[in-house]
Amino acid sequence: MAHQIEPHQYTIQRSVSCCGVGLHTGRTVNLTINPAPANTGIQFLRSDLVDRPVIPARVERVVNTTLATTIGEGQHTVSTTEHLLAALRGYGVDNVLVDLDSHEVPIMDGSAGPFMRLLKTAGLCRQQALRKILRITRPIVHTAGDKSIRIEPYDGYKVSARIQFDDALISEQRYSVEVTPDRFGKEIARARTFGFVEQVEQLWQNGLALGGTLDNVIAIHWNRRSILNENGLRFDDEFIRHKVLDVIGDIALLGSPVMGHVIADRSGHELHLAFMQAIIDNPQSWEYVTYKKKGESLLRQVVPATPTSGHCFAPFFAPIGDAMATSSACI
């Protein structure tokens, strides 16, 4: 195998909180990540609303992919989920309840870095239940014009991506990474979102990106040869690294860890959503598996699929009320 598979599900040891601004509203957002029992998955609680709705982070809950990934339940939504989801998946967290008092996850510094620091402060908690891993057995491809994204069988989780811009600063960039907590933290988590100055100005004029500043967005100069941020780039190829981050965050909406190699060519949130739907629509190309340790070896066991909504895709999420009846104690 490319790296050791961790067979058990994980949550965090203690609740951790942060405060930031919403990228589009510019309003202050308070967010707390709480431990959750096994088989809960990642769920968002809108504690600012009277009925306190809980929105599962699942692909079928995606309601908008314009500028960010937004999930919803009825009339209630949570937007800009991808950076936090990337941190949770990159750090290896399966089950948490994310409490926030707004419809936007705070943008923080425009990367997943602050969320990774929060999770490290919280600490990991290994749970008794085994992970149900979505293992790719045959290639699946989704293409839209000159953009594409595919996934191939692979003994691990790997993401490779390419972007192409007609400017001197970005031009063509490629990056490939084995998604482990260590490599995600060192190579991907701190890569920030970016945009061209005139695009940001246009968003401001339309009442969007009101929380966008040089503290949380890489602003590419009109000359396309430099950026406006005084401290420069964190990586020479920070742009493609952030695209990899977005891929990881969006694909976390499949609801289970993935075993496969994702190859994205000039992809974005809309393409990621269509790609995840292509995976769901091709159950003959994947299977759910669990792993059990026997000495120094890992034994793989195929999980029987349960038909759901006409197909076999069935994330392990449980309703939060049912899940809370299950112990979340560490082992």
Which residues are marked as active site?
269
DSSP 8-class letter at 46: E
Picking from 261, 318, 322, 253, the residue whose alpha carbon sits closest to that of residue 65 is 253
Picking from 238, 204, 198, the residue whose alpha carbon sits closest to that of residue 219 is 198
Rounded Cα distance between 82 and 279, Å, is: 19
Amino acid at 93: V
From the DSSP assignment, how many helices (H) and strands (E) are in the chain? Answer: 7, 20
Q: Which residue has the tokens 């790997």?
A: 158
Rounded Cα distance between 51 and 318, Å, is: 19
Q: What angle do CA 58, 7, 71 make, to 5 degrees?
A: 10
Q: Count how many residues are written for the chain.
A: 331
Q: Which residue has the tokens 């050791």?
A: 4
